[in-house]
Amino acid sequence: MGKNKYVFVTGGVTSSLGKGIIAASLAKLLQARGYRVTIQKFDPYINIDPGTLNPYEHGECFVTEDGAETDLDLGHYERFLNVNTSQANNVTTGRIYQTVINNERRGDYLGKTVQVIPHITDEIKRRMRLLGESEEYDIVITEIGGTVGDIESLPFIEAIRQMKMDVGEDDAVVIHLTLIPYLAAAGELKTKPTQHSVRFLLESGVQPDILVCRTEQPLGNDIRRKVSLFCNVKQNAVIESIDVPTIYEVPMMMYKERLDKVVLSKLKLSGKNEPELEDWKNFLFKLQHPQSEIKIALVGKYTELPDAYKSINEAMIHAGVSNECKVNFRYINSELITSENVASKLSGFAGVLVAPGFGPRGIEGKLEAIKYCREMKIPFFGICLGMQCAVIEFARNVLGYKDANSIEMEPKTKHPVISLMETQKNLANMGGTMRLGAYECKIEKGSHAAKAYGKTAISERHRHRYELNSKYEKEIETKGLKITGRNPQSGLAEIVELENHPWFVAVQFHPELKSTVLNPHPLFVKFVKAALEYSK
């Protein structure tokens, strides 16, 4: 295929309508028809990247292979498409301005007044085209974060207007996602908010080609006709997106609504092949027809906002399906766990996962949970901070160093079992100063990890500052907490496993970031398997 095709996805009426899932589902369908597709997310906020955002505010920070800290929607893209994303797939207003300001300081604008139009919009358009011009993809889907009507979205909408002109009508399509609320008292679906948000787009010079309407009730022809008429969109391009129990149903639902067909016809692409969705349907079938059921606990401190642990949650679903088991994955706030109540808090759980995190809050509860799993031989999976806590717990309760800690929590501890490497000690900035992205790891033969992966050379993604302190390695290992995975270059500990325990594995990296529908992560799969066995 010669020219690049662009799909833009905007959202109206309210946030949280599932733009990311719709974009990922469309990408899945196009990919299943044989097109090479990628998705990028443009976020209108001013942060350079979401790395410094509180998970309460923005959900988890998704880390790519190349070490970019990105929006959690990129996680959906990877899980649906089974294709890696990169730094180029997530751009914020902050990054756009940073580039433009750097250009200005270098004198690139030759004395011109630097303005939103054309300088900011040009930079947005340059970024919009970047992946397309790499020639790796036939179709580039660009999702614009936020809601149209927000002040900060305006330059992005303007960039879409210009892109449509630049590349031509047949090479760009705009999908607008809106809400059609159901007013129970009136017993009616209401189209007015949709009309208003489309009018806003029109005022900005953008006529959406397709409307995807999020709704709790089926739309019916009369509503579709009305939306079509008022919003100037063909009736077959009014797509219903009804609430479904799992996001993994959305691609099938969009297929039934023919979203992919409408997109292809707008882009003048033939789309002769029907999408090849057998694997996806198999996954969905198993998800909907589990053979068994267990409860697994996630112990963490960001438990009020489910999005804070998005990738772990999804990886757990993938692993459940792979074991044909429904995993009831419950979040337990580590701040509420004490030595007195840990047994009752964790009763009935067949496995415990201790989550990643930052800062001292909730640490003591995590340590109690780990101690309980270690002693009661309950399958345990520690991720990042969860691994560091496993080491701290072991140092305190098995080695007897009562004050053992990470220097993140207690900089003056006498037993800094988790510490900084010498090279890191002078860093002043919080943004972008962690060990980020893919690093190799060499695994000990015969370990749980080696059995799970089925190989001894792996690569996993990281996002952390602190490391297991090599001074304590020997003692820890002698007492039974084995280092079964190491970075081959630096020798840093990446995986620890407890001897004489059915399944106690903790990893410094983030395996959840690489779990996809087609490739569930082996450590999650084996953790669920161990939990299933424990429950019997």
Is 465 a binder of ligand GLN (CB under 6 A)?
yes
Position 165, amino acid: M
Question: Which residue in 76, 415, 501, 510 is the catalytic one?
Answer: 510
Establish if 464 lies at the interface with ligand GLN (CB under 6 A). Answer: yes
- Give the range of 160-168, 181-189, 356-364, 469-477 binding ligand GLN by CB under 6 A: 356-364
Instruction: Pick from 463, 486, 514, 521 the residue near ligand GLN by CB under 6 A.
Output: 463
513 binds ligand GLN (CB under 6 A): no
Residue 450 φ/ψ, nearest 5 degrees = -60, -40
Our finding on whether 138 is near ligand GLN (CB under 6 A) is no
Answer for the pair 408, 363: CB distance below 8 angstroms, yes or no: no
DSSP class of residue 150?
A: B
# chain residues binding ligand GLN, by CB under 6 A: 10
Does residue number 357 form part of the binding site for ligand GLN (CB under 6 A)? yes
461 binds ligand GLN (CB under 6 A): no
**Helix-helix angle 121-133:154-167, to 10 degrees:** 50
Binding of residue 356 to ligand GLN (CB under 6 A): yes
Residue 384 annotated to the active site: yes
Instruction: Return the number of the residue (224 or 465) whose C-beta is nearest ligand GLN.
Output: 465
**What is the C-alpha to C-alpha distance for residues 323 and 451, in angstroms, rounded to an integer?**
16
User: How does DSSP classify residue 47?
Assistant: S
State the catalytic residue, choosing from 373, 384, 389, 441. 384
Window of 123-131, 262-270, 315-323, 351-359 that interacts with ligand GLN by CB under 6 A: 351-359
The span of 45-53, 221-229, 370-378, 460-468 binding ligand GLN (CB under 6 A) equals 460-468
User: Whose Cβ is closer to ligand GLN: residue 137's or residue 439's?
Assistant: 439
Separation between Cα atoms, residue 383 and residue 460, nearest integer Å = 12
Q: What would you measure as the largest C-alpha separation in the chain, in angstroms?
A: 74
Cα distance between residue 234 and residue 210, in whole Å: 8
At its nearest, how many Å lie between ligand GLN and the CB of residue 192?
Answer: 44
The Cα–Cα gap between 376 and 509 comes to: 25
CA angle, 470 then 461 then 50, to 5°: 110
Q: Does 473 bind ligand GLN (CB under 6 A)?
A: no
Q: Does 351 bind ligand GLN (CB under 6 A)?
A: no
- The one catalytic residue in 123, 314, 368, 512 is 512
For residue 435, what are its two tokens?
Answer: 């060990």
Distance CA 276, CA 481 (A): 46
Q: Can you give the length of the chain in residues?
A: 536
Q: Residue 101 contacts by C-beta under 8 Å, 6 or more apart in sequence? A: none
**Which range touches ligand GLN (CB under 6 A), out of 83-91, 174-182, 350-358, 371-379?**
350-358
Residue 140's SS3 state is: strand
Among candidate residues 367, 368, 409, 414, the one with its CA nearest the CA of residue 392: 367
Residues 396-455 that bind ligand GLN (CB under 6 A): 408
Q: Is 510 a catalytic residue?
A: yes
Is 384 near ligand GLN (CB under 6 A)?
A: yes
Residues that bind ligand GLN (CB under 6 A): 356-358, 384-385, 408, 463-466
Residues known to be catalytic: 384, 510, 512
